[in-house]
């Protein structure tokens, strides 16, 4: 009887040893995985353009709200360039209209995705601001273009459970569409409403500053088409770039600074009402 | 082509991308289920850890309930994911700064823990069943016991030790898992309605409320189906636990709400408009009024008047049912409510729950019913009730009567 007990104990011990070894091997493998991942990203620095070195740039974006005329060519260009679905609910960039009417101390706000504006344009695929204030006394009005702020401390990157969304060395916040699981936690976490769900691909989506263009030395599509230079883009490492001059020559602001996100989209000409 | 997304109507100004609500009813179901798990596990631990004898009757049933709901906790999440096939990415390469990265590990750990605890809790019974049955049935129970039929005093002491250890570890495990779900919401600064330090604590209290309420309902219903008398001491104990936690849970929510209002930060006007407008029925009427104030009143009156018999049974059952509804409404008001308040703090959205579809009402109901079906199957395979079970087959009853009940700690 005693012998039998010890046999079963020995078998149990043997089994536990095997389990323990397997567990140690598993933990070691999991621990090594992030290191392997790091090596991979270091060698893939030329993404998405061959020869591009993301350690040599520090991109930033500027918006001069005093110049914007609300023509919405930027929205159109962005949708075309990036294949964003042509409806009123998915935008990598959009434009807001702020209007103060006489006797009112709060601005009335709308964007081109407002049903009234869509009715005016006749289609969700065309973008227009209607003329709803035609017979009203407007005391102040201005447009505010919006895009992803490519924050220095992005809350979307913080909350992503897989690391599919990440901050590049040159300052952009990107999403790996082949790795995103589509949980939309990042959509919730972004204070600026810059992210949306790409229903066709089952992943989240947002502005990339046209990363495929800027890495080739081109400007983002929205900057390229803006007829009044309300959108400015460039490399902060170059003191003569448009963006460096824009920041140097103006007193710039960022949106929702209290979040601590540290946006790298800088604004001039916005107002207390801007959200 | 059918539109792949549902557009939420809105008033005021909301960011264009906000018009598609990211998290649907399934994400309200998910914390509801983890809460039920934590609550049911708490009841089981009241006996297995704290040795409170009156919960002995439902301790193993509570354990099975926790296990069944926990097994289905990933279901609402997987249904919600845009790329469910990639769900394991979060486990293979967890992004440690994410409040959600560890969920898979915690959940997996906890499922294993509850399964193991159940294994120990039912081992002796399974050995007896293996001995008293034949054929496939015997093979099944033999396999479940891992071909070990040792029920010597030494083996039972070993079982008791592990059952105790697992139940002790399970307490922070279950509550940590659910408090963590509260953190997933409470840590988001982008949403005024969610970003609160009290969120994990509120989630924990409501978890215990919902778990205890679920056990009351299930215990009464199952006893009715089994045609056995209800253990009054056990039911009274559960009722008192529900009563206490309900009062404290409601108090916490009132404190949080008062805090939000008194601080009156930017956007409070919109929140006032929201809670007194679109959220009024689901928040004040269903969650606080009918769901909390009414059961607290019923329970207080019953406990004060020492009501017993059928009136007590009905009162408890109604209160537990209302508390279950209240906690679900709390999850709904947090998850859906938080998204209906625009991040612009200048507009309100209106989420419409579709009936059909992957994230519709039907899917949510199925996800909530699935654990109950599993529970029904498991209670058939592993009856969690005492061996005096009237409906147990004679052979099993005989076999079990020779053994101490389960592997519970010795009575103090």
- The domains of chain A are located at 1-43, 51-275
What are the CB-based long-range contacts (under 8 Å, 24+) for B249-258? Answer: B249/B202, B249/B205, B249/B206, B249/B208, B249/B209, B249/B292, B250/B288, B250/B292, B250/B293, B250/B296, B252/B198, B252/B201, B252/B202, B252/B205, B253/B202, B253/B288, B253/B330, B255/B198, B256/B196, B256/B198, B256/B199, B256/B202
B344 contacts in chain A (CB < 8 Å): 109, 193, 275
Give the bridge partners for A146, in sequence order.
A94
How many beta-carbon pairs below 8 A join chains A and B? 142
| Most confident by average pLDDT, A2-11, A30-39, B97-106, B282-291 | B282-291
pLDDT (tens digit per residue) in A184-208? 999 999 999 999 999 999 999 999 9
What is the nearest CA distance from B389 to chain A, expressed in angstroms?
34
Determine the Cα–Cα distance for residues B89 and A183; give it in Å rounded to an integer: 12
Residue of chain A with shortest Cα separation from B79: A183
Q: Which of B81, B93, B345 sits opposite A34 (nearest CB)?
A: B93
Q: Calculate the CA dihedral of residues B337, B339, B342, B344 and round it to 10 degrees.
A: 120
Report CB contact under 8 Å: B22, A184: yes
pLDDT at B127: 96
At B403 the pLDDT is 41
CB half-sphere exposure, B102, CA atoms < 13 A: 15
- Residues A214-257 have pLDDT tens digits of 999 999 999 999 999 999 999 999 999 999 999 999 999 999 99
| Closest-CA residue to B67 (of B123, B124, B110) | B110
Q: Which two tokens stand for residue A118?
A: 């869509």
The pLDDT score that the predictor gives to residue A27 is 54
Q: What is the pLDDT of residue A72?
A: 98
What chain B residue is nearest to A198 in terms of C-alpha separation?
A: B82
For chain A, say whether B83 makes contact (Cβ under 8 Å): yes
Q: Which residues of A touch B17 (CB under 8 A)?
A: 89-91, 187, 193-196
Interface of A with B in 5-34 (CB under 8 A): 8, 33-34
What are the residues whose beta carbons fall under 8 Å from the beta carbon of A238, sequence distance 6 or more? A244
Residue A47 has pLDDT above 90, yes or no: no
Q: Show residues of chain A in contact with B14, CB under 8 Å.
A: 193
Does any CB of chain B come closer than 8 Å to the CB of residue A158? yes
CB B216 within 8 A of CB B238: yes
Between B273 and A43, the more confident residue is B273
- Tell me what percent of the residues of chain A surpass a pLDDT of 90: 81
Q: What is the pLDDT along chain B (412 residues), one digit of tens a residue?
A: 567 789 999 999 999 999 999 999 999 999 999 999 999 999 999 999 999 999 999 999 999 999 999 999 999 999 999 999 999 999 999 999 998 888 889 999 999 999 999 999 999 999 999 999 999 999 999 999 999 999 999 999 999 999 999 999 999 999 998 888 999 999 999 998 998 888 999 999 999 999 999 999 999 999 999 999 999 999 999 999 999 999 999 999 999 999 999 999 888 999 999 999 999 999 999 999 999 999 999 999 999 999 999 999 999 999 999 999 999 999 999 999 999 999 999 999 999 999 999 999 999 999 999 999 999 999 999 999 965 443 333 333 333 444 444 444 444 3
Do the beta carbons of residue B60 and residue B107 sit within 8 Å? no
pLDDT for position A26: 59
B6 touches chain A (CB under 8 A): no
Which pLDDT tens digit goes with each residue over A113-167?
999 999 999 999 999 999 999 999 999 999 999 999 999 999 999 999 999 999 9
Q: What's the pLDDT score for residue A1?
A: 42
ipTM surpassing 0.85 = yes
* CATH no. for A51-275: 3.30.70.20
CA A113 to mean position of chain CA atoms: 19
Residues 6+ apart with CB under 8 A from B362: B355, B356
Instruction: Tell me what pLDDT residue A28 has.
Output: 57
| Residues on chain A touching B92 (C-beta within 8 angstroms) | 33
**Tokens (6 digits) for B224:** 């009715």
Domain residue ranges in chain B: 18-80+100-262+270-401
Residue A201: list chain B partners with CB under 8 A. Answer: 82
Residues of chain B contacting A198 with CB distance shorter than 8 Å: 82
A48 pLDDT tier (thresholds 50, 70, 90)? confident
């Amino acid at each position: 009887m005693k012998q039998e007990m010890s046999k079963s104990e020995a078998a149990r011990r043997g089994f536990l040893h095997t389990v323990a070894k397997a567990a140690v091997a598993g933990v070691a493998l999991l621990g090594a995985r992030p290191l392997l991942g790091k090596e991979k990203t270091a060698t893939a620095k030329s993404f998405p353009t061959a020869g591009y070195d993301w350690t040599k740039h520090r991109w930033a974006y500027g918006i001069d709200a005093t110049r914007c005329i609300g023509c919405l060519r930027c929205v159109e260009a962005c949708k075309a360039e990036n294949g964003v679905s042509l409806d009123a609910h998915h935008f990598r960039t959009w434009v807001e209209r702020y209007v103060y009417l006489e006797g009112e101390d709060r601005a009335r706000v709308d964007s081109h995705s407002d049903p009234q504006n869509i009715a005016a344009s006749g289609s969700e695929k065309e973008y227009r601001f209607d003329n709803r204030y035609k017979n009203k006394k407007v005391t102040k009005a201005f447009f505010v273009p919006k895009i992803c702020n490519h924050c220095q401390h992005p809350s979307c990157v913080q909350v992503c459970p897989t690391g599919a969304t990440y901050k590049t060395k040159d300052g952009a916040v990107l999403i790996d569409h082949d790795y995103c699981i589509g949980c939309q936690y990042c959509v919730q976490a972004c204070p600026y409403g810059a992210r949306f769900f790409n229903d066709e691909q089952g992943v989240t989506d947002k502005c990339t500053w046209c990363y495929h263009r800027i890495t080739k030395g081109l400007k983002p599509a929205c900057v390229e088409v803006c007829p009044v230079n309300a959108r400015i883009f460039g490399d902060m490492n170059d003191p003569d770039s448009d963006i460096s001059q824009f920041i140097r020559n103006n007193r710039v602001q960022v949106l929702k600074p209290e979040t601590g996100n540290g946006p790298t989209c800088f604004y001039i000409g916005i107002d207390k009402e801007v959200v | 082509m059918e539109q792949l997304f549902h557009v939420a109507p809105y008033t005021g100004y909301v960011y264009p991308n906000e018009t598609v609500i990211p998290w649907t009813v399934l994400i309200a179901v998910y914390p509801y289920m983890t809460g039920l798990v934590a609550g049911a596990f708490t009841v089981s631990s009241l006996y297995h850890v704290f040795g409170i004898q009156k919960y002995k009757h439902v301790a193993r049933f509570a354990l099975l309930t926790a296990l069944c709901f926990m097994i289905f906790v990933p279901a609402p999440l997987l249904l919600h994911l845009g790329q469910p096939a990639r769900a394991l990415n979060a486990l293979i390469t967890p992004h440690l700064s994410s409040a959600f990265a560890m969920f898979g590990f915690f959940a997996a750990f906890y499922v294993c823990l509850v399964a193991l605890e159940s294994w120990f809790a039912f081992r002796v019974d399974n050995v007896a069943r293996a001995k008293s049955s034949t054929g496939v049935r015997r093979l099944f129970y033999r396999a479940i016991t891992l071909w070990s039929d040792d029920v010597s005093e030494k083996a039972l002491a070993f079982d008791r030790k592990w059952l105790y250890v697992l139940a002790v570890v399970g307490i922070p495990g279950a509550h940590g898992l659910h408090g963590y779900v509260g953190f997933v919401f409470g840590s988001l600064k982008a949403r005024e309605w969610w970003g609160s330090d009290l969120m994990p604590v509120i989630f924990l209290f409501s978890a215990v409320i919902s778990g205890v309420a679920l056990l009351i309902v299930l215990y009464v219903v199952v006893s009715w189906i089994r045609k056995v008398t209800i253990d009054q001491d056990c039911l009274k104990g559960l009722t008192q636990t529900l009563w206490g936690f309900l009062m404290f849970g409601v108090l916490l929510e009132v404190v949080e709400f008062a805090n939000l209002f008194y601080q009156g930060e930017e956007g409070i006007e919109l929140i006032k408009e929201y809670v007194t407008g679109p959220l009024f029925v689901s928040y004040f009427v269903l969650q606080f009024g009918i769901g909390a104030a009414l059961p607290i009143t019923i329970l207080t009156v019953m406990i004060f008047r020492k009501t017993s018999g059928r009136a007590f049974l009905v009162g408890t059952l109604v209160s537990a049912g209302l508390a279950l509804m209240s906690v679900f409404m709390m999850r709904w008001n947090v998850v859906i409510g938080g998204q209906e308040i625009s991040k612009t703090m200048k507009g309100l959205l209106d989420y419409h729950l579709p009936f059909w579809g992957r994230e519709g009402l039907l899917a949510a109901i199925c996800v909530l019913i699935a654990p109950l079906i599993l529970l029904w199957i498991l209670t058939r395979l592993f009856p969690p009730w005492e061996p005096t079970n009237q409906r147990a087959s004679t052979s099993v009853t005989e076999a079990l009567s020779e053994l101490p009940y389960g592997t519970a700690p010795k009575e103090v």
